[in-house]
């Protein structure tokens, strides 16, 4: 999923009120990461940033389905054959993923990786796939076919050829873990921005909250709202560039794992949550569930909010957000 999130504060290497604010941008987990920390001096700041990089790289090795030596790849290789014993960390991540699947009625599903790639969003598709092919494309998708053994810490994919992937939750989890590590090392404030999965803690050196500007999907050069964020995560997901149109219906590249059909109702979602992992997963889910169901689900959850822009450009917010207050 393509993600856009603007930070209203441009951060380079600056010093305010005795705190040194330093930012580094690099590619990790196949995506752009912006890591910003506040420290007493530049040497300390760079040391903390390197700690965060090492932690994110460690997580990538654990959850990557591209690395043949990862535990995730081992689970996939043994699909339909036998359970695979994994580290507690990976087991618990999968366990939480299944809980989110239940919460969203399957709109979020890490077995989406089993889906046949019959939809193309690179301009090469000229005809819509048949109903039969769409149905067949999700034959091996289904979180209920993941079997967890809490005693032995094993994971078993029941169907041969079944796969799991953490594309809709992995970067958020990595941002959470990097934040947690830096806080434990005494870093008072910072931002981990994983291609739109953004996690913050503390405040700017001037004592004010970090501010985020939510992109206007109708005009990416402008923001329609700027909001404060304090010790929270925000994920802004845009779905307005990759799509195909058949019979006057725009099908976006986020596909419902339950049906095989792409989402059609929403073009942008921003989710605010205590953790980036959860915000990441819920942003994907809302695209699939649609505006009404998505808002209803978010309004039932504590400490979680969202902003949705539908295909008509109408802005919808959960009950506790008032974007006009911050415009």
What are the pLDDT digits (tens) for 157-202? 999 999 999 999 999 999 999 999 999 999 999 999 998 888 999 9
Whether residue 319 has pLDDT greater than 70: yes
Judge whether 242 lies within some domain.
Answer: no
- Counting every residue written for the chain, the total comes to 327
The overall average pLDDT reported for the chain is 89
What are the pLDDT digits (tens) for 2-53? 343 333 333 334 444 456 789 999 999 999 999 999 998 889 999 999 999 9
Q: Could you tell me how far CA 11 lies from the centroid of its own chain?
A: 23
Contact of 217 with 268, CB cutoff 8 Å: yes
> How many of the other CB atoms lie within 10 Å of CB of 77?
12
Q: In the numeric block, which tokens belong to residue 293?
A: 């169901």
Domains identified in the chain, total number: 1
Contact of 155 with 89, CB cutoff 8 Å: no
What are the pLDDT digits (tens) for 206-228? 888 998 888 777 666 677 778 88
Judge whether 149 lies within some domain.
Answer: yes
Judge whether 105 lies within some domain.
Answer: yes
Judge whether 62 lies within some domain.
Answer: no
Residue 45 phi, psi (nearest 5)? -60, -45
Q: Identify the pLDDT of residue 324.
A: 60
Judge whether 307 lies within some domain.
Answer: no
Question: pTM to 2 decimals?
Answer: 0.90
Domain with 98 in it: what CATH number?
1.10.3980.10
Judge whether 216 lies within some domain.
Answer: no
Residue 98's nearest CA partner among 145, 65, 66 is 145
What are the pLDDT digits (tens) for 113-142? 999 999 998 889 889 999 999 999 999 999
Judge whether 137 lies within some domain.
Answer: yes
Judge whether 110 lies within some domain.
Answer: yes
DSSP string, 238-264: E-SSSEEEETTEEEES-B-TTTSPBP-
Grade residue 253 by pLDDT with cuts at 50, 70 and 90.
confident
Residue numbers of the domain that contains 89: 71-157
């Amino acid at each position: 999923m393509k993600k856009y999130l603007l930070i209203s504060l441009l951060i380079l290497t600056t010093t305010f009120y005795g705190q040194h604010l330093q930012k580094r941008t690099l590619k990790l987990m196949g995506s752009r990461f912006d890591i910003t920390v506040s420290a007493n001096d530049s040497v300390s700041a760079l040391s903390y940033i390197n700690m965060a990089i090492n932690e994110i790289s460690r997580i990538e090795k654990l959850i990557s389905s591209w690395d043949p030596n990862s535990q995730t790849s081992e689970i996939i290789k043994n699909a339909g054959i036998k359970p695979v014993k994994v580290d507690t960390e990976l087991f618990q991540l999968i366990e939480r993923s299944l809980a989110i699947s239940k919460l969203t009625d399957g709109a979020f599903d890490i077995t989406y990786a089993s889906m046949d790639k019959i939809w193309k969003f690179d301009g090469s598709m000229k005809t819509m796939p048949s109903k039969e092919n769409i149905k067949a494309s999700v034959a091996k998708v289904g979180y209920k076919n993941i079997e967890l053994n809490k005693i032995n810490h094993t994971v078993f994919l029941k169907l041969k050829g079944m796969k799991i992937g953490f594309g809709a939750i992995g970067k958020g989890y990595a941002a959470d873990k990097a934040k947690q590590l830096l806080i434990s090392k005494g870093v008072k404030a910072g931002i981990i921005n994983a291609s739109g999965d953004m996690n913050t803690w503390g405040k700017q050196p001037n004592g004010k909250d970090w501010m985020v500007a939510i992109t206007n999907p109708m005009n990416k050069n402008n923001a329609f709202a700027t909001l404060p964020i304090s010790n929270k995560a925000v994920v802004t997901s845009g779905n307005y560039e990759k799509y195909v149109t058949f019979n006057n219906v725009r099908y976006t590249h986020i596909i419902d794992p339950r049906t095989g059909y792409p989402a059609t109702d929403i073009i942008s979602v921003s989710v605010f949550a205590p953790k980036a992992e959860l915000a990441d997963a819920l942003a994907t889910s809302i695209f699939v569930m649609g505006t009404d169901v998505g808002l209803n689900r978010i309004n039932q959850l504590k400490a979680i909010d969202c902003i949705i822009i539908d295909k008509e450009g109408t802005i919808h917010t959960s009950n506790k957000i008032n974007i006009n207050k911050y415009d």
